[in-house]
Structure 1
Amino acid sequence: MNEHVHEAVGLTRNQSLVMGALTQSKEPLSAYTILDQLRDHGFRAPLQVYRALDKLVEFGLVHRLECLNAFVACSHPGCDGEETIAFMICEKCGQVNEIADKVMTRRLRKLAAEAKFALKKATVELRGICHACREA
C-alpha cells in the first residue's frame, strides 16, 4: 500500500508509517519491532506505535495475532472485522496466511447462538507447519 492510498483512507502520518512497515514485512511484527524500524521517522515511544496500531485494527487494515503478540497487515482489502478471520501460522518459518471462510463463520455464529452467547468477533489461529517447510 503506497502513501497515496494511505491518504485516501484518511490515515495519519504515524498510522501510514506503521501500515507501511507491516505491508513491507514478510512476517508478523511486534510493536517494539515496529518502533525500532521507525525510530528514524521520529517514533520514540511504544505508545506512538500502539495508538497507530489500535486505529489500524479498528479500520480493519491490520490484525493482531494473539498467540504471537504481533500484528499483520490484512490480506483481504475491505475486511471490516465482522467476519471470522483465521490465520494459519507456520511455527518453523513464521509465514502467516489469512483466510476468511463463510462456512466457518456461520458455524461459529450458530454455536454461539445455541449457547445464547452474543458473538461480536472471532479470530481463529491455527499453528502448525506450512507445506513448504514440510517439503524442505
Structure 2
Amino acid sequence: MNAQAHPELTKNQALVFGSLSEADGPLTAYAILDLLRDSGFRAPLQVYRALDKLVDYGLVHRLESLNAFVACSHKGCGGHGAAAFAICETCGLVTEFTPEKAIGLLKDWTKEQGFQLTRTTIELRGRCSRCGANA
C-alpha cells in the first residue's frame, strides 16, 4: 500500500508512512524522527500526530510490546479493526497475519460480556521458523 492511494494524507503523514513502508522492520517514533530530520521534522510531536492519524486510517499498526510502529502489510486493515503479529525475539522479524477464528472468538466473548470493542491487536512473541531451525 502506498501514500498515493490516500490523497487525504498530509505531507507529514505521507513522509512518516513512507519511512515505515521502506523500513525493514518496526520503527520507534524517535527513529522516524531521526530519519525525517532533513525533511523538516524537529519534534517528536510531529511524528506522533502523523502516527496517530495513520493508525486511525489503518495504514500503520502500533506494536505495544515493542513500543514501535509498522506499516500495514495488507489492504483493508482499517476496516476490520483487528491485526495480529508474530514477532521473532531472535532476529526481530515481524509478520502480520489475520487469525479469523481467534478474532471471531474474541468478538463473541466481548458480545457476551457487553464489552464495546474498538480495536484488537494480538502479538505473538517467539522464534520464527528460520531462527527456530538454527537453534
| CA contact 1:35–1:46 (8 Å) conserved in 2 | yes
Q: TM-score, normalised by structure 1?
A: 0.91
Q: TM-score, normalised by structure 2?
A: 0.92
Paired amino acid for 2:38:
D
Within a 5 Å distance, the mapping from 1:1-136 to structure 2 comes to 5=4, 8-80=6-78, 82-136=80-134
Q: Which moved more, 1:52-61 or 1:81-90?
A: 81-90
User: CA RMSD, aligned part only?
Assistant: 1.5
Q: Write out the 4+ residue segments of structure 1 that deviate beyond 3 Å after TM superposition.
A: none
| CA contact 1:86–1:125 (8 Å) conserved in 2 | yes
Paired amino acid for 1:28:
P
Q: Which moved more, 1:64-73 or 1:84-93?
A: 84-93
| CA contact 2:83–2:120 (8 Å) conserved in 1 | yes
Paired amino acid for 1:36:
D
Higher helix proportion (structure 1 or 2): 2
| 1:81 to partner: Cα distance | 5.1
Identity level (%): 56
Q: Which runs of 5+ in 1 are unaligned?
A: none
Paired amino acid for 1:68:
L
| CA contact 1:65–1:72 (8 Å) conserved in 2 | yes
How many Å separate the matches in 2 of 1:56 and 1:2? 12
| CA contact 1:27–1:96 (8 Å) conserved in 2 | yes
How many Å separate the matches in 2 of 1:68 and 1:76? 21
For residues 83-112 of structure 1, give each alpha carbon's deviation from its aligned partner in whole angstroms, at most 9, with x where no partner exists. Answer: 421110001111111111221111101111
How many Å separate the matches in 1 of 2:105 and 2:39? 44
How many Å separate the matches in 2 of 1:117 and 1:98? 25
| CA contact 2:77–2:83 (8 Å) conserved in 1 | no
